[in-house]
Amino acid sequence: MNIDWSAEDLAFRDEVRAFIAAELTPELRRAGNSLTSVYADYAVGMGWQKILHAKGWAAPAWPEEFGGRGWSVSQRYIFATEMAAAGAPPVSPMGIGMCGPVLIGHGTPEQQAYFLPRMLNGDDFWCQGYSEPQSGSDLATLQMSAVEDGGDFVCTGHKLWTTHAHEANWIFCLVRTSREEIPQKGITFLLIDMTSPGVEVTPIVSLSGEHIQNHVFFTDVRVPKANAVGPVGQGWTVAKYLMQFERGGGVASPGMRARIAKAASILEAQFPDRDDAEGVSLRSQLAEAAVQVDALAAIELRVMSALSVGGAPGPESSILKTVGTELSQRLTEIALAAAGSYAGVYQPHMVSPGGPSPGFVPPPQRDGVGPDYSWTVAAKYLNDRAGSIYAGTNEIQRNIMAKAVLGL
């Protein structure tokens, strides 16, 4: 197998590098390299999205007729690799990465014509309304109701762990429009304007001290029936399609390679004596993680190949989600151990949190404690504890793999 890049691929790589060098501002680069969450905050993520949109690169995975690029698998992989290597901040996945593909695959022409351009240019910022207090991985038990009333649904319920709901002006929700013997039936995929009367957002502060997630309460919120995506009562099918993109529609390995390089530099700084027993152990763990990243990259390329010919990620998305999140957690553990006591200092003013840090008052001198490589590691570790839970717990993913991949 020849895995060398073609001349066309190398020319594309040079084009991406030139674009990044010209357009990725020092402020955005600094923010991307000092993220503590998988999400950039609204200002950082949207600032970079607008630059990408001006180039036509905001949604490289979308079909060209909807504003995408029509890039090959290798081009998309090169793009993700160069963005990660440069420290570019991530664009919020809720709109472009999740709701967008659903509208392309299941939306009406009217929904596509209205929402997709606004998603790309940043007029609409999206959040996801799936989890409820008693419905997490067992999402079919959700209780948020949507009762038909003329041309509207009247929605009442409570969603939680809703990322950036305090910034979003639209939310895509799973709601119950009827009660059936089989709980997966009677669920509808609904688009709701967050500025509607009856919508209330309250914060959830994470272990890292950041306000990224939220409660969202709906009290008699009127939503036009035209905002249902797919047939009423068949939202479970739409949701399963979306979850494949949430779990496996992106490319994680280039970013992990960048993190491995950063962890290696931490080890060199903290353990310059190559014979130090703790340093040797951590270097060994990091080498093992690097091998696992290479295996993850192979699965990602297979998924991207399916996407390039119009397919969905399929059950491999569960493999990517499980392997990717557990490997990411392992990298945070290695970095935390390498940083040692420096990681114990809480200093969100020196990094780029995924949201505000309520109650934190930065010191007047605004100086950091310890070397700069240690500033993000504790918050990354704490944030990443959720990785094996969100988008369906890894236990659920293993059930899916057992059934859909192994045929058990």
* pLDDT at 1 > cutoff 50: no
DSSP state of 349: G
Task: Give the integer Cα–Cα distance in Å for 7 and 338.
Answer: 40
Task: Give the integer Cα–Cα distance in Å for 142 and 132.
Answer: 7
Mean pLDDT of 272-290: 91
Structure confidence at residue 312 as a pLDDT band (50, 70, 90): low
Q: Which one from 246, 288, 333, 395 is the annotated catalytic residue?
A: 246
Judge whether 144 and 174 are in contact, CB under 8 Å.
yes
SS3 for 211?
strand
Mean pLDDT of 380-407: 85
Q: Which domain holds residue 32?
A: 7-91
- The CATH number given to whatever domain includes residue 379 is 1.20.140.10
Could you say which of 184, 203, 238 is where a domain stops?
Answer: 238
- The CATH number given to whatever domain includes residue 216 is 2.40.110.10
Task: Give the integer Cα–Cα distance in Å for 370 and 366.
Answer: 13
Mean pLDDT of 284-294: 92
Evaluate whether residue 275 is within a structural domain: yes
* pLDDT at 271 > cutoff 50: yes
- Are 129 and 67 in the same domain? no
Number of separate domains in the chain: 3
Spatial CB neighbours of 22, under 8 Å, sequence gap ≥ 6: none
Structure confidence at residue 208 as a pLDDT band (50, 70, 90): very high
With b meaning 16 or more CB within 10 Å and e meaning fewer, what string describes 270-290?
bbeeeeeeebeebbebbeebb
Evaluate whether residue 108 is within a structural domain: no
Evaluate whether residue 2 is within a structural domain: no
DSSP state of 404: I
Mean pLDDT of 283-306: 85
Could you say which of 37, 71, 91 is where a domain stops?
Answer: 91
Evaluate whether residue 100 is within a structural domain: no
- Are 140 and 60 in the same domain? no
Evaluate whether residue 109 is within a structural domain: no
Identify residue 8 by its one-letter amino acid code: E
Mean pLDDT of 87-107: 93
- Are 253 and 397 in the same domain? yes
Q: What is the pLDDT of residue 308?
A: 63
- The CATH number given to whatever domain includes residue 53 is 1.10.540.10
Evaluate whether residue 366 is within a structural domain: yes
Evaluate whether residue 232 is within a structural domain: yes
Task: Give the integer Cα–Cα distance in Å for 187 and 195.
Answer: 23
**362-to-274, 365, 379, 380 alpha-carbon distances in Å:** 37, 8, 16, 19
Judge whether 126 and 170 are in contact, CB under 8 Å.
yes
Judge whether 209 and 348 are in contact, CB under 8 Å.
yes
- Are 153 and 30 in the same domain? no
Mean pLDDT of 289-297: 89
Mean pLDDT of 287-303: 86
Evaluate whether residue 231 is within a structural domain: yes
Q: What is the pLDDT of residue 43?
A: 95
- Are 170 and 263 in the same domain? no
Q: What is the pLDDT of residue 220?
A: 98
- Are 230 and 345 in the same domain? no
Q: Where are the beta strands (DSSP E) in 134-269?
A: 145-149, 152-159, 170-176, 187-193, 199-205, 211-224, 228-229
Query: What is the rounded radius of gyration, in angstroms, for the C-alpha atoms of the chain?
Result: 22
- Are 155 and 193 in the same domain? yes
**pLDDT > 70: what percent of the chain?**
95
Structure confidence at residue 225 as a pLDDT band (50, 70, 90): very high
**178-to-130, 181, 217 alpha-carbon distances in Å:** 17, 10, 20
SS3 for 338?
helix
Q: What is the pLDDT of residues 191-201, one digit of tens each?
A: 999 999 999 99
* pLDDT at 346 > cutoff 60: yes
- Are 335 and 373 in the same domain? yes
Structure confidence at residue 15 as a pLDDT band (50, 70, 90): very high
Judge whether 59 and 91 are in contact, CB under 8 Å.
no
- Are 258 and 309 in the same domain? yes
- Are 259 and 222 in the same domain? no
Q: What is the pLDDT of residues 124-144, one digit of tens each?
A: 999 999 999 988 777 889 999
- Are 60 and 79 in the same domain? yes
Kind plus residue range of the DSSP H or E element containing 129: strand 126-129
**This prediction's pTM:** 0.88
Decide if 82 is catalytic: no
Mean residue pLDDT of the chain comes to 90
- Are 150 and 198 in the same domain? yes
Task: Give the integer Cα–Cα distance in Å for 50 and 69.
Answer: 16
Q: What is the pLDDT of residues 364-378, one digit of tens each?
A: 877 888 888 889 999
Structure confidence at residue 254 as a pLDDT band (50, 70, 90): confident
Mean pLDDT of 60-80: 88
- The residues facing 154 across adjacent strands are 147, 222
Mean pLDDT of 258-278: 87
DSSP-derived secondary structure for 40-106: --HHHHHHHHHHHHHHT-S-TTS-GGGT-----HHHHHHHHHHHHHHTPPPPPTIIIIIIHHHHHHH
* pLDDT at 304 > cutoff 60: yes
Mean pLDDT of 209-230: 97
Q: Answer with the residue of higher pLDDT: 405 or 263.
A: 263
